[in-house]
Copies of this chain bind each other. A is one copy, B any other.
Amino acid sequence: MDKLNLSKHISSSFNEEIDQVRNQVMAMGGLLEQQLRHALQAISSADTELAQQVIATDLAVNNWELTIDKTCTEIIVRRQPAASDLRLIMAIIKAIADLERIGDEIRRIARAALEQFDSHQQGLLVNLDNMGRHVGQMLHDVLDAFARMDVEMALQVHKEDKKVDVEYEAITRQLMTYMAEQPKSIPLVMNVLWSARSLERIGDRCKNLAEYVIFFVKGKVVRHSSDAQLEQEARS
């Protein structure tokens, strides 16, 4: 076996390992998409059993983080990857920390679904549901962007977060007005408000994930850049 073949062999087996860890990230992401769908369904249909199930499944999300973390560390030790390979592994290590925190926020939403809302209060949940779908789409899109390392799609998700923030402001205003009119409802409505806050945080995390995609592809850290800077850097 000559040197070239050997290096090809090493490199192809390295690629397999990288593919494996990418598949693990996708599996973790898919589980989170399902968790978010179930949490929203539980809150809008007052399904406490489903809410309990979401809370219990968060353990599986946490386990994914530990597994992927371990795989990444092993790859670094065994392969001593340089430059772009290391950048991918770093992007994955950061991504799974955000995915795990997305799981925490979903668990918080599921907890709110354990409360009993009356028919009028149910009306307040409609906007929350819409915001939830919007954030769910962001999560789906950013996972797609991650799977294909698609910078354009990552930029799209990054912009979408602004719209989620606007939705969140609107819901907050609506809920505060309701609380002022129905002071007795405050503790219950606070749960809806916390859930909206959790959705807003999930949107933030999706934005982080989009930044890791750009970091990997462009080799530039774009966190803390302004939006205009970000677009320029990502497309340059």
The residues of A with any CB-CB pair to B shorter than 8 Å are 59, 62-63, 65-66, 69-70, 73, 76-77, 80, 82-83, 86-87, 90, 93-94, 97, 172, 176, 179-181, 183-184, 186-187, 190, 197, 221, 223-224
Contacts and interface: CB of A to CB of B under 8 A. Distances in A.
Contacts of A221: 66, 69-70
Contact of A176 (B80, B190, B223): B190
A64 B184 CA distance: 46
Nearest to A215: B69
Contacts of A181: 183
Contacts of A65: 223-224
Contacts of A186: 176, 179-180
Instruction: State the copy count for this chain.
Output: 2
A77 B83 contact: yes
Given A76-B76, A179-B186, 4 more contacts: A62-B223, A63-B224, A69-B221, A176-B186
A181 B73 CA distance: 54
Contacts of A183: 179-181, 183
Given A94-B97, A181-B183, A183-B181, A77 B66 contact: no
Contacts of A76: 76, 86
